[in-house]
Amino acid sequence: MKLEFIDTKAENAFDLLCGKVNGCVLCSRMKDSQRVLNHSSGSLDAEIMFIGEAPGRLGADNSGIPFHGDKAGHNFEELLEFANLDRSRIFVTNAVLCNPRDESGNNSTPTKVEVHNCSQHLAEQIKILNPKIVVTLGSIALESTRHVAPHLLTLKDDVRTANEWFNRILIPLYHPGQRAMMHRSFANQRSDYQFISEEFKRLTKKSVSSKLQTSSINHSVFLIVKEIFAHLNSIDYFKLHKLFYLIEYKYFKKFNSRLTNAYIVRQKDGPYCTDLHFQKIKKALPELVIRNKAGNLILNYSASIFAPPSEIDNKAKEIIIEVLKDYGQLTSQAIKTKVYLTEPMRKFLKLENEGKLNLYNVPIEFNQTVHTAIRSLK
């Protein structure tokens, strides 16, 4: 079996665009900032593209993953989950691809000029992906689409409506950050995301589950985390991500289906699961205690004695026990080595070492062994 990078038009164009975005110096206050456009933005085959405002200081600017790591990101991911929209099947970007900060270093709103500067990158993303539906999150995102092709939509008058625009459908929504909740409650925003799923179904005559969700999902991420804690009640946060990856990997190898629909990307130190952001775990498991020990987060959890029995099936239990027995006591460094010995990670490293690709932030897709950019050819 030979691995090759497929030179598809979209993959090439996207990689070229990321290079161009990385070299962009149009906005003076952000000319040295990190740019948040990479493979963790989602699938290039996505039929739905979400556009936010700009990477947040504590979120995308820190994680490198659009809408991930801050409050706006948590809300967004919760809304996606509510509408059964799987992150690996959509594409998420921002009107401005760098984090705009004020003089005190806090997030600030991008200026009209900055939105205009970045709109050429947005136009290229739309051209490469050619999504059926574009969803704008907030007024800045809506404004950015006007630079790509004109329209007269406003957030106030046209929220949650499907509009013909530039050979596709444009749906204006409010931003999921806390500030916008004053104008649009979370309950209303949930219905907005449901509307997107329905619109998608109407356009493609396919149900969300057939097209946007990973098939054969057996369990929720937090059910698995709870089961891990039932065996190890104190875990290093770094190690939790690696153990979770190993559980998903072993489960997929044995049963040829995903255990959860967790979105796992290859970050600098190995697999990182967006669903396992510590604030999300804390929200799902309120009894969790998080301590910071010399820069490492240590998670402690003991289920309440009144907790109902685990709903996890025996197949999942068996894999979790096997992984915890083999790797649960290893140090973070040793578990990282084990992770890098698994097939998807070895393939990432091989391609990187050959200098073919930068696979940082690429989603790990177990069913194709590595990302869609890489196909195995006989």
Please select the residue that binds ligand URA; options are 14, 41, 50, 67, rule is CB under 6 A. Answer: 67
Please select the residue that binds ligand URA; options are 35, 41, 42, 53, rule is CB under 6 A. Answer: 53
Output the six-digit token pair for 359.
């696979």
Minimal distance, residue 60 CB to ligand URA, in Å? 4
**Binders in 176-205 for ligand URA, by CB under 6 A:** 177
What is the per-residue DSSP string for 101-118? B-TTS-B-PPPHHHHHHH
Minimal distance, residue 158 CB to ligand URA, in Å? 19
Task: Verify binding: residue 60, ligand URA, rule CB under 6 A.
Answer: yes
Identity of the residue, 51 or 335, whose beta carbon is nearer to ligand URA in the bound complex:
51
Task: Verify binding: residue 56, ligand URA, rule CB under 6 A.
Answer: yes
Among the listed ranges 50-58, 162-170, 207-215, 280-288, the one in contact with ligand URA (CB under 6 A) is 50-58
Identity of the residue, 174 or 229, whose beta carbon is nearer to ligand URA in the bound complex:
174
Output the six-digit token pair for 338.
């084990």
Contact 262, 269 (CB under 8 A): no
Please select the residue that binds ligand URA; options are 59, 64, 100, 344, rule is CB under 6 A. Answer: 59
Of 120, 114, 90, 102, nearest to 57 by C-alpha is 102
Among the listed ranges 58-66, 179-187, 254-262, 294-302, the one in contact with ligand URA (CB under 6 A) is 58-66
What amino acid occupies position 225?
Answer: V
Identity of the residue, 72 or 247, whose beta carbon is nearer to ligand URA in the bound complex:
72
Minimal distance, residue 138 CB to ligand URA, in Å? 7
CA atoms within 13 A on the CB side of 214: 24
Identity of the residue, 70 or 143, whose beta carbon is nearer to ligand URA in the bound complex:
70
Contact 107, 99 (CB under 8 A): yes
Minimal distance, residue 75 CB to ligand URA, in Å? 9
Q: Which long-range contacts (CB under 8 A, 24 or more apart) does 297-304 make?
A: 297/236, 297/237, 297/238, 298/234, 298/235, 298/236, 298/237, 299/229, 299/234, 299/235, 299/236, 299/237, 299/240, 300/233, 300/234, 301/226, 301/229, 301/233, 302/229, 302/233, 303/226, 303/229, 303/230
Minimal distance, residue 5 CB to ligand URA, in Å? 28
Q: Residue 280, SS3?
A: helix
- Give the nearest residue (CB) to ligand URA: 52
Output the six-digit token pair for 354.
């050959």
CB atoms within 10 A of CB 105: 8
Minimal distance, residue 10 CB to ligand URA, in Å? 22
What amino acid occupies position 113?
Answer: V
Identity of the residue, 73 or 344, whose beta carbon is nearer to ligand URA in the bound complex:
73
Minimal distance, residue 344 CB to ligand URA, in Å? 26
Q: Is 306 exposed, middle or buried (0-12, 13-18, 19+ CB in 10 A)?
A: exposed
Please select the residue that binds ligand URA; options are 42, 55, 131, 271, rule is CB under 6 A. Answer: 55
Identity of the residue, 66 or 131, whose beta carbon is nearer to ligand URA in the bound complex:
66
Identity of the residue, 96 or 273, whose beta carbon is nearer to ligand URA in the bound complex:
96
Place of tokens 């998420």: 92
**52-57-58 Cα angle (round to 5):** 100
Identity of the residue, 50 or 252, whose beta carbon is nearer to ligand URA in the bound complex:
50
**Binders in 87-106 for ligand URA, by CB under 6 A:** 94
Q: What does the binding site for ligand URA look like in residue numbers (CB under 6 A)?
A: 52-56, 59-60, 66-67, 70, 72-73, 94, 177
